[in-house]
Amino acid sequence: MGRGLFDLTGRVAIVTGASRGLGTYFSRALAGAGADLVGTGRRRDSLAAIVADIEALGRRAHAVELDVGNYDSIQAMVEEAYRAFGRIDILVNNAGCNIRKPAVEVSWEDWNTVLDTNLRGSFFVAQAAAKKMIPAGYGRIINIGSVTSVFGYAGITPYCASRGGVKQMTMSLADDLGCHGITVNCLAPGWFKTAQNEVLYENKEWVDYLVDRIPLKRPGRPDDLDGAVIFLASESSRYVTGQTLLVDGGISTGATKASL
> Which residues are catalytic, by number?
159
Measure the CA–CA gap between 52 and 50, rounded to whole angstroms. Answer: 5
Q: Is the distance from CB of 111 to CB of 158 less than 8 angstroms?
A: yes
Contact 77, 40 (CB under 8 A): yes
Instruction: Give the C-alpha separation, 108 to 142, whole Å.
Output: 29
CB 246 within 8 A of CB 186: no
DSSP 8-class letter at 101: -
Q: How far is CA 227 from CA 35, 206, 247, in A?
A: 14, 28, 10
Residues 51 and 29 sit within 8 Å (Cβ to Cβ): no
Distance CA 49, CA 72 (A): 26
What kind and span of H or E run contains 245? Answer: strand 244-247
Which amino acid, residue 98?
A: N
Q: Tell me phi and psi for residue 106, to 5 degrees.
A: -70, 125
Asked if residue 170 lies in contact with residue 206, where contact means CB atoms within 8 angstroms, the answer is no
Distances (CA, A) of 127 to 17, 57, 86, 93, 134: 17, 30, 18, 11, 10
